[in-house]
Amino acid sequence: MLIKQLGLIGCGLLGGSFALALKQANCVSRVVGYSRSASSAEKAKALGVIDEAVDSALLAATGSDVVLLAVPVAATASVLASILDAIGPDTLVMDVGSTKGSVVASAQMALGNKIAAFVPAHPIAGREVSGVEHAQATLFDGCNVIITPIKETGAKQFEKAQALWLLIGAAIHHMSPEHHDAIFAASSHTPHLLAFAYINSLANQRLLDQFLAFAGSGFRDTTRVAASDPTMWRDIFLSNKDDVRKQIHLLQQQLNTMDEVIANDDGPKLEQLLTQAQRIRAAWNIS
């Protein structure tokens, strides 16, 4: 058995799916879970995602050889500080947060000389639904996982983290936390922000009900991610502030250009802009 005990801190979609995947791969003996909301932990236990629900993050980490943090990124520092005493020289502590720079900084501050235990990871496997009831053993099968080790990351922990993700079907990529955050600000955080902002731009208009009544498949797809968890995304936007703001500003420039081109009835320029975007998007396929 690869893992004797998995300590799961945060029993939601990602944490629950990780536990289920390891159980299905038959490589964990026991999963102990803690959730800030007691009802989530109880639900996780009822669903067989965890074997025991405990009352604190520290209790979940105690006796666990692998600890998975699956909480909103802003909670990283306080959770890691609370489990410090349970981290031994061989313990692997891993997160699944969508930003990595602030998570690594939190880990360095909270873990001090135990920082070797921590492996920062980001599985590209979000969904617009949340909660352990949507957890699936196959969520990470075929998905990309970005691991962003730092120089203090322990070799044993790094190897073990990779072995776990490979076992449950993920493909692994390495990059620095800073590079990760620059990429995901552009490819993930900004489209989410855009979807939230667009829905809010409709929200206060008198015709909102009719907008929604006649919205079609374009609206459905462009706004799907606006149904995502607000707390999780609040933390992501704030913890990747500089990169996200840079992308918002680049997007605003493009909107200003489109607005100006439309105001000037400049058909050729508008077609050129749309064609550029169309070619890039039509050539893209999810990897």
Interacting positions 53-92 with a copy of itself (CB under 8 A) = 74
Distance of alpha carbon 41 from alpha carbon 9, whole angstroms? 10
Give the one residue of 37, 78, 173, 174 binding a copy of itself; rule: CB under 8 A.
Answer: 173
Site for a copy of itself (CB under 8 A): which residue of 1, 113, 155, 284? 284
Strand partners, 93: 67, 118
Q: How remote is the C-alpha of 47 from its chain's centroid?
A: 23
Asked if 176 is part of the footprint of a copy of itself (rule: CB under 8 A), the reply reads: no
- Tell me, residue by residue from 27 to 56, as one string, x for binding to a copy of itself by CB under 8 A and - for no binding: ------------------------------
* Three-state helix/strand/coil letters over 236-272: HHHHCHHHHHHHHHHHHHHHHHHHHHHHCCCHHHHHH
- Which of residues 124, 152, 166, 177 is near a copy of itself by CB under 8 A? 124
- 158 scored as a contact of a copy of itself (CB under 8 A): no
Of 44-52, 103-111, 131-139, 193-201, the window that binds a copy of itself (rule: CB under 8 A) is: 193-201
Structural contact between residues 2 and 11, judged by C-beta atoms closer than 8 angstroms: no
- Does position 144 interact with a copy of itself (CB under 8 A)? The reply is yes
Does 150 bind a copy of itself (CB under 8 A)? Our answer is no
Binding of a copy of itself at residue 226 (CB under 8 A)? Answer: yes
> What kind and span of H or E run contains 53?
strand 52-53
* 134: contact with a copy of itself by CB under 8 A: no
221 forms part of the interface with a copy of itself (CB under 8 A): yes
Q: What is the nearest approach in angstroms of a copy of itself to the Cβ of residue 142?
A: 12
Distance of CA 36 to the CA centre of its chain: 18
What's the angle, vertex CA 23, arms to CA 22 and CA 26, rounded to 5?
A: 90
Instruction: Tell me how far, at minimum, the Cβ of 120 lies from a copy of itself, in Å.
Output: 15
* Amino acid at residue number 70: A
Tokens 């449950």, residue? 168
Q: Are 153 and 93 in contact (CB under 8 A)?
A: no
- Cα–Cα dist 155/200, whole Å: 46
Size of the site for a copy of itself (CB under 8 A): 91
218 is a site residue for a copy of itself (CB under 8 A): yes
* 25 lines the binding site for a copy of itself (CB under 8 A): no
